[in-house]
Structure 1
Amino acid sequence: MKKKKRLYPLLSLMLLLPFLLYHGNNALDITTFEIPSDELSGLRILHLSDLHNKSFGKNQEKIIEKINEIKPDLIVFTGDLVDGRRKGHQNALTLMDILSRNYTVYRVNGNHDFGDNGYALKPKLDELHIVTLENACDTYYYNDIPVQIKGVDDPISYDRANREPEFKNSLEILDDTVYNILLSHRPEHFNDYVESGYDLVLTGHAHGGQLRLPMLGGVIAPHQGILPAYDAGAYTSGPTTMIVSRGLGNSLFPFRLFNNPELVVIDFK
C-alpha cells in the first residue's frame, strides 16, 4: 500500500507533463517594461525574438490577435526568424507579411538567419518593406522626435579570427545627441553595449534559459551555459538598459518548461 502511495505523485506528474509542455510552448505571455522619458512619452515598442519558424495557429492568428490588442507604434525583431536545423520559412514569412501591412517593422539577423532558410527569406522580407538593419542605422520619428535605431548582425557573420573586435566596431553610435536603441541578437555582450553608450538595447537568443526554476531563473542558454547571467528581463548599468526577450520558438532543445513564449512590450512614460 505504501508503495502505491509513493507512486501517486509520479503518476500525477506524468499525466500533467504533456499539458505543461504544450502550455509552455504555445501560451503567449505579455511582459511590459516601462522606460522613463519625457520626450518619448507614449511611445510603445513591441519586441519579438527567436521565432524559429514556429506556428501560432493558422496564418499565425493567435499571435497576430495578441499583437493587434497591444497596438504598438513599431515592432522590432531581434533575430532567428528561422531555424538553421530545420527546413522552411513559411511561418516566419506569414507572420512578417501580416505585420508589415499595419506596422513599421525593424529586424536584425540572428545566428540561425545565416543559412539557407535565412538567405531565401531575406529578399521576400525586402519586398514587404521590412527594415533589416545589417550593421546599419535608421532614424525613427515619434511625434517629430528622432530616435536612432541601430541593428547589428550576429557575431557568427564575422570571420572567427576577427570576430570580437569587428563586432565591437559594429556597435559605434552615429549620433549621441539623440535617443539610441540597439537591436542585437545576443545578450551576453551587455558590457560592450554599455561601453558603447546605448540608452536601450533589445536582445534575445537565450530562450529564457529554456527551463525556468523558482529563485534560479533560466537553466541553460546558448553561449552562456548553465545558469546564464542574462536570460530574460531587464538589466541596467549606468544609463543603459538591456531587455532580453524569452523568445517565441525553440531550436536544438524542442521544449520549454515554466517559460512561455513571450511578447515584450516597452512603454515610454
Structure 2
Amino acid sequence: MTNKRMNRRAFLKYSMSAVGSLAALAGASGLYSIFGERYWIQLKTVPLAYHRYPAAFAGMRIVQFSDTHLGKYYSLDQLARVVKLVQRQKPDLICFTGDLFDSNYGQISDDVIPILSRLQAKSGKYAVLGNHDMRLDPGRVKDVLERSGFTVLVNANKSIVRGNSRLWIAGIDEMFHGKPDLPLALKGTVVDEFVLLLAHEPDFADTALKFPVDLQLSGHSHGGQIRIPFYGSLFTPDLGQKYEVGLYTFEKSEFHVYTNRGIGTTLFPIRFNCRPEITVFVLETKQP
C-alpha cells in the first residue's frame, strides 16, 4: 500500500470521527436545550440608583418575572416552582410583564389562580398583558390575574406610599393588539416623583424615554431563546429587537429599560445560552 493511499484512509477515518463527534455534540446540545437549560432558572440581582428615588423606599426589592407561556411546554407544577423562587427573594413588590398563557400551545385556565395567589409582597403585585394573552382573550386573562391578587394596569397607574413619600407604578396596554396610551397611563402622577413603568414589549422604551418615566420593565423577547456565543440571538420578535435582553441606559438621562428573558418558551421548547430569568431590582437613592 502506498503512502498516498494510507494518508487518504487516515484522512477519511479522521473525517468520519470528526463528523461523528460533531453529531454527538449537536445531539447533546439539543438535549440540553430542550430538557436542561429551559428549566434552569437564573436569579439575577440588578442594583439601580436614581436622584429622584425617594429615600423612604431605599433598598426596595422589586421582583420581576415574565412570559411564563403556560401550556404544552410549561406546566402548572413548573409555575409552582417559579412562585417558590420568587417568594424566596423576599419581594417588596412583584411585577409580571405579560404572556401568562401561550396562544399556540395553551389555553386559559383558572387552575393557575391558587398557585399565583401564593405570591405575596408588602407593596403589592402588578401585571400587564402580553401579545399572547391578547390573542387568547385579554378580558379573561385579566380576570385570572386579578383573582390571583394582581393589579392589572392597562394605561393606568397606582401610587405606593411610605410615610410622606410616594412612588408610582404604571402600565401600558399591549402594543400589537391593544392601544397603548402613555399620557393616559401617567395621568395623575407627579413630575418630580419616581415612576416605574411596566410594558410588555421592550422597544416601547423609545416612547417612554420622552416622558417622566425612570425605569421600564419588559419581557416579550425571551432574550432570543437561542444565543450563539460571540454572535447573539438568532431571532427576536418584532418590538423586542432593539432592547432584546438585559439592562439599557440612555445618554443624558437616568432612564433605564430592562428586558427580562422570561420563564417559558414560544414556538419551540428550546433555550440555549439564554436561561430563563427571575430578576431582583434593588433600588436606592442616588446622592447629589
TM-score (norm: length of structure 1): 0.86
| Count of matched residue positions in the alignment of Structure 1 and Structure 2 | 261
Which letter does structure 2 place at the counterpart of 1:44? R
Q: In structure 1, what is the Cα distance between the partners aligned to 2:121 and 2:46?
A: 26
Which letter does structure 1 place at the counterpart of 2:118? I
- Give secondary structure in 2 for the equivalent of 1:126: helix
Structure 2 residue 139 is the aligned partner of structure 1 residue 119: yes
Q: In structure 2, what is the Cα distance between the partners aligned to 1:59 and 1:254?
A: 14
Which letter does structure 2 place at the counterpart of 1:121? V
Structure 2 residue 69 is the aligned partner of structure 1 residue 52: yes
Which letter does structure 2 place at the counterpart of 1:108? V
Structure 2 residue 31 is the aligned partner of structure 1 residue 18: yes
1:74-130 deviations in whole A, cap 9, x for unaligned? 100111111222332346435422215887210011111113454333223323331
Structure 2 residue 254 is the aligned partner of structure 1 residue 235: no
Q: Is the 8 A contact 1:171 1:196 kept in 2?
A: no
CA offset at residue 22 of structure 1? 1.7
Match of 1:4 among 9, 12, 16: 16
Q: Which moved more, 1:195-204 or 1:215-224?
A: 215-224
Q: Which has the larger radius of gyration?
A: 2
Matched ranges for 1:132-211 at <5 A:
132-142=152-162, 144-158=164-178, 167=181, 169-170=183-184, 172=186, 174-211=189-226
Structure 2 residue 261 is the aligned partner of structure 1 residue 246: yes
Matched ranges for 1:19-38 at <5 A:
19-37=32-50
CA offset at residue 250 of structure 1? 1.5
- Give secondary structure in 1 for the equivalent of 2:261: coil
Correspondence for 2:7: none
Which letter does structure 2 place at the counterpart of 1:46? V
- Give secondary structure in 2 for the equivalent of 1:182: strand
CA offset at residue 143 of structure 1? 5.6
Q: In structure 2, what is the Cα distance between the partners aligned to 1:17 and 1:268?
A: 38
TM-score (norm: length of structure 2): 0.81
- Give secondary structure in 2 for the equivalent of 1:243: strand
1:110-154 deviations in whole A, cap 9, x for unaligned? 111113454333223323331011110101134653111111111
Identical-pair percentage: 25
CA offset at residue 46 of structure 1? 0.3
Q: In structure 2, what is the Cα distance between the partners aligned to 1:206 and 1:67?
A: 21
Q: Which moved more, 1:232-241 or 1:103-112?
A: 103-112
Give unpaired runs (5+ residues) of structure 1: none
Q: Is the 8 A contact 2:157 2:169 kept in 1?
A: yes
Give unpaired runs (5+ residues) of structure 2: 1-12
Q: In structure 2, what is the Cα distance between the partners aligned to 1:267 and 1:217?
A: 27
CA-based RMSD of the aligned residues comes to 2.5
Correspondence for 2:148: 128
Which letter does structure 1 place at the counterpart of 2:201? R
Task: Specify whether residues 140 and 117 from structure 1 end up closer, same or farther in structure 2 by C-alpha distance, changes over 3 A only.
Answer: same
CA offset at residue 222 of structure 1? 1.1
Q: In structure 1, what is the Cα distance between the partners aligned to 2:162 and 2:232?
A: 35
Q: Which moved more, 1:182-191 or 1:57-66?
A: 57-66
Which letter does structure 2 place at the counterpart of 1:262? E
Match of 2:60 among 11, 18, 43: 43
Correspondence for 2:100: 81
Q: Is the 8 A contact 2:202 2:219 kept in 1?
A: yes
- Give secondary structure in 1 for the equivalent of 2:107: coil
Q: Is the 8 A contact 1:75 1:105 kept in 2?
A: yes
